[in-house]
Structure 1
Amino acid sequence: MDEGQRTVLFTLVTLRGIRPYRAFSAEYARVAAQLQSDGHEVAPAPVARHYERLLRFGGLKTGPHVPTARVLEKIFQRPIGDLLRSAAEMPELEREHSSQAISPPVLDESELLMAARDAASHAGEAAALHLDEMTLDQLQDDLVQLARRYGCTAPAEVYGGANSLLRMAQALLERTRSPEQQTRLYYAAGQASALLASVSFDLGALTPAVSFARSAAQYGKTIGNGPLQSYAYGMMAFMAFWDGRPSEAVRLAKSAQQFGGLGDTARRRLYTIEARAHGHLRNDGQTQRAIRDAGEQNSGHRDELHDDIGGEFGFDAARTAMSNATTCLLLRDSQSAEDSATKALTLLSSLPAPEQPIVVSGPAAIDLARARLMRSEVEGAQEALAPVFQVPPNWRGSGMLERLTAARIELTRPAFRDAPAALALAERIEDFSAFSPARRLGATSPLAIEA
């Protein structure tokens, strides 16, 4: 610990020869007994971990309680505020002690034995603060399962599971000193935060979604994990254009591409997000370029988060096609949108029904319907929306809601004004959307509803 990280208390216990916890606690107990006999309220000596925090500048969020501070102030004859200051602010301490010293201390065997016992005690405490690896394995297994089942699990259920796993990772971080285990736990906390960002967005709660995404990025930065940071930045880019800031979305998507360790899946996802942002800016050239770049990610490179864990962290061909359909709709290219939406639904149809992610199939079907409405094909749109109208209320997330809103706007065109089929479809969309949890949470989508 360098001087800037040490408190004045660290310097004083060192100069007094009571830096080891056992020696400090013995001196603390002696002074506490004197104060107590004089009628003062005192607290037991801080535990070893709390003691170490007292010695590190900024190690405590709040100062010690009065009964503890009273003993410390008595021992060192300084206010508690001064004791917890940075030692770098009071360099005169060591000079004062040097001027008072007459001769170097003489050590005897008992002191050496005490130091040895302190070292053994500290090592024992460190060993005790090491988690069972099976606990960490189970936490990671639960996260992997949740990520892979995300698209087939109701948003509220995902939220409960991810929130529980995040709290578990945070609690376990307080119980280990192993750098390797801490890295695993920060990684787990980052994954849980990322899942919470996704489900918050699906529920139409943009503010907490952004906050969770930033937390995921910070956890990734803490352990130097490029794919986790990249995934979080991609989410923030997605949320930026959804919130009406497409230029910011482009910037974030490009920043996400700069992190190291990314595989093809991660890069395909980021280029697809960038393409959507350019679509909102009506920049046809950059949009088509980003779509091409997404399709050219075939180097064979992989990363653990996007490829090995996958699920919500993955970005397969079906999801890419679904997103490209939405992007083409922003450019009013109905034929390309229909081709991409049809491709997504065809790819999904090869999976068993319980494994088809509603978060992909629902938006793809709605985009297909909207592409047909652009060509005034009401019956074709009704056919495309038939499976969507069967989706239970608790599955109707913001991704579906924003697309349905855009489809509803298509039905306001003069060509549909007196068409009974169009009016009936518009009413059904309104009834369906009214029961969306995203609508109940007040979700709005300034750009996604552009017609």
Structure 2
Amino acid sequence: MTARDAAAHAEDAASLTVPDISLDRLHDAILDIARAYNSTSPPEAHRKAKELLLDAQDKLERTQVPRQREHLYLTAGQAAAMLSAVCFDLGALQPAVQHFRTAALYGQIIEHGPLQAYAHGALAFLAYWSGRPAAALNLVRTAQGFGGLGATARSRLAVIEARTHAHLGDREQAVRAIQDSLAIHHTDRDELHDDIGGEFGFTSERLAMSNATTYLLIGDATGAEEAATRALHLLDERTNGARPMLISSQAATDLARARLLRREHGGACEALEPVFDVPRDWRGAGVLERLAAARAQLTHPDFRTAAQVADLGERIEEFTAGSVSRHLGGSAHLTLDT
């Protein structure tokens, strides 16, 4: 009976599996979501990522094959990370935090360094957005300690570290981290940031755009204008269909903010003109926060008598009021003002 019971148990366990072709389909799905993220509206990306996460979780309940479970945990973690990115773009910060924590836990289960690093880096980003830069610095240090990271992952974490130091008021360390983000020239790759890429990647224009924001935080108008201009030039080299709207609108807003620091309101209006053409579904939290900071800059006494500035302030308010983020309850934290 013992042998028979053992055989029956083994047969039951062997029956708990899913077709490998289903795993291939899930892998293709995460590739599609990540790589098409910049050309997919946030609401549509949210729907796709949610469906993928539920599918991966369902299949985890149906297989006991270690190889398949590892694959499914990775897919579930990647889908959770995509959901987090969408939640952030829609201004829903608390769900974004929860999903990134879920991604980090899935990464821990299978000891996947790049997924854990990506999630912890994003949690650091959300921490300083929530006014906790000291906690953000601890999270980014943890992220930098995971193994298996390629050059793209390390550049991304250096950018997040730079912004953290800027929020802490440490200008010297912020500039050092910016320089570190630009000085990583080795060709090491990892399967998340490089092989999948897309939203998991960190392109040159995204790096420049992010560093522009850090320069603004430390009050360096020249550095911010140069970095934002570089980001926009890199984006101009792409075809129109491949131009990421979220990144381009943030870079343009940072360019405007740099010019406002110089009291060049005409140049700021010019930089913001394409931003006002961004469709309602694409007005993510990143650009809304930057616009809120620009709106605050417009209250400077030097602009008090400029009619053009008053008109610009009204356009910013109208643009923000019509965003999906605001209709979903997103709130402005003004963590980006200088």
Kindly state the Cα deviation for residue 314 of structure 1 after the two structures are TM-superposed.
0.4
Q: Which residue of 2 aligns with 1:199?
A: 86
State the alpha-carbon separation in 2 of the partners of residues 119 and 246 from structure 1: 55
TM-score, L = length of structure 2: 0.97
Cα deviation per residue 1:23-51 (whole Å; 9 max; x = unaligned)? Answer: xxxxxxxxxxxxxxxxxxxxxxxxxxxxx
Kindly state the Cα deviation for residue 418 of structure 1 after the two structures are TM-superposed.
1.4
Task: Determine if the alignment matches structure 1 residue 361 to structure 2 residue 248.
Answer: yes
State the alpha-carbon separation in 2 of the partners of residues 227 and 201 from structure 1: 20
Cα deviation per residue 1:188-214 (whole Å; 9 max; x = unaligned)? Answer: 000011011111111111111111010
Task: Determine if the alignment matches structure 1 residue 269 to structure 2 residue 152.
Answer: no
Cα 1:152/1:308, change in 2 over 3 Å: same
1:370 alignment partner, one of 232, 235, 257: 257
Kindly state the Cα deviation for residue 127 of structure 1 after the two structures are TM-superposed.
2.5
| Mapping 1:215-234, distance limit 5 Å | 215-234=102-121
| Mapping 1:14-413, distance limit 5 Å | 114-413=1-300
Kindly state the Cα deviation for residue 365 of structure 1 after the two structures are TM-superposed.
0.5
Counterpart amino acid of residue 14 in structure 2: A
Kindly state the Cα deviation for residue 377 of structure 1 after the two structures are TM-superposed.
1.5
State the alpha-carbon separation in 1 of the partners of residues 51 and 197 from structure 2: 20
Task: Determine if the alignment matches structure 1 residue 433 to structure 2 residue 324.
Answer: no
Cα deviation per residue 1:136-162 (whole Å; 9 max; x = unaligned)? Answer: 000111011101111111111111100
State the alpha-carbon separation in 2 of the partners of residues 115 and 277 from structure 1: 61
Kindly state the Cα deviation for residue 348 of structure 1 after the two structures are TM-superposed.
1.1
Kindly state the Cα deviation for residue 115 of structure 1 after the two structures are TM-superposed.
4.2
Richer in helix (by share): 2
Counterpart amino acid of residue 177 in structure 1: Q
Kindly state the Cα deviation for residue 358 of structure 1 after the two structures are TM-superposed.
1.3
The answer as to whether partners of 2:292 and 2:332 remain within 8 angstroms in 1 is no
Kindly state the Cα deviation for residue 446 of structure 1 after the two structures are TM-superposed.
3.1
State the alpha-carbon separation in 2 of the partners of residues 284 and 193 from structure 1: 34
Cα 1:433/1:445, change in 2 over 3 Å: closer
State the alpha-carbon separation in 2 of the partners of residues 186 and 443 from structure 1: 30
State the alpha-carbon separation in 2 of the partners of residues 441 and 234 from structure 1: 25
SS at match of 2:34: helix
Q: Which residue of 1 aligns with 2:308?
A: 421
Percent identical residues: 54
1:446 alignment partner, one of 321, 333, 338: 333
Larger radius of gyration: 1
Kindly state the Cα deviation for residue 443 of structure 1 after the two structures are TM-superposed.
2.6
State the alpha-carbon separation in 2 of the partners of residues 254 and 436 from structure 1: 34
State the alpha-carbon separation in 1 of the partners of residues 93 and 3 from structure 2: 56
State the alpha-carbon separation in 2 of the partners of residues 402 and 276 from structure 1: 15
Aligned length: 338
State the alpha-carbon separation in 2 of the partners of residues 279 and 225 from structure 1: 30
Kindly state the Cα deviation for residue 295 of structure 1 after the two structures are TM-superposed.
1.3
SS at match of 1:175: coil
Counterpart amino acid of residue 179 in structure 1: P
The answer as to whether partners of 1:243 and 1:447 remain within 8 angstroms in 2 is no
List runs of 5+ in structure 1 lacking aligned partners.
Answer: 1-113
Q: Which residue of 2 aligns with 1:18?
A: none
Counterpart amino acid of residue 148 in structure 2: G
Kindly state the Cα deviation for residue 305 of structure 1 after the two structures are TM-superposed.
0.3
The answer as to whether partners of 2:121 and 2:157 remain within 8 angstroms in 1 is yes
Kindly state the Cα deviation for residue 257 of structure 1 after the two structures are TM-superposed.
0.1
State the alpha-carbon separation in 1 of the partners of residues 120 and 252 from structure 2: 27
Kindly state the Cα deviation for residue 435 of structure 1 after the two structures are TM-superposed.
1.0
Structure with larger RCO (C-alpha < 8 A, sep 6+) = 2
Counterpart amino acid of residue 389 in structure 1: F
Kindly state the Cα deviation for residue 436 of structure 1 after the two structures are TM-superposed.
1.4
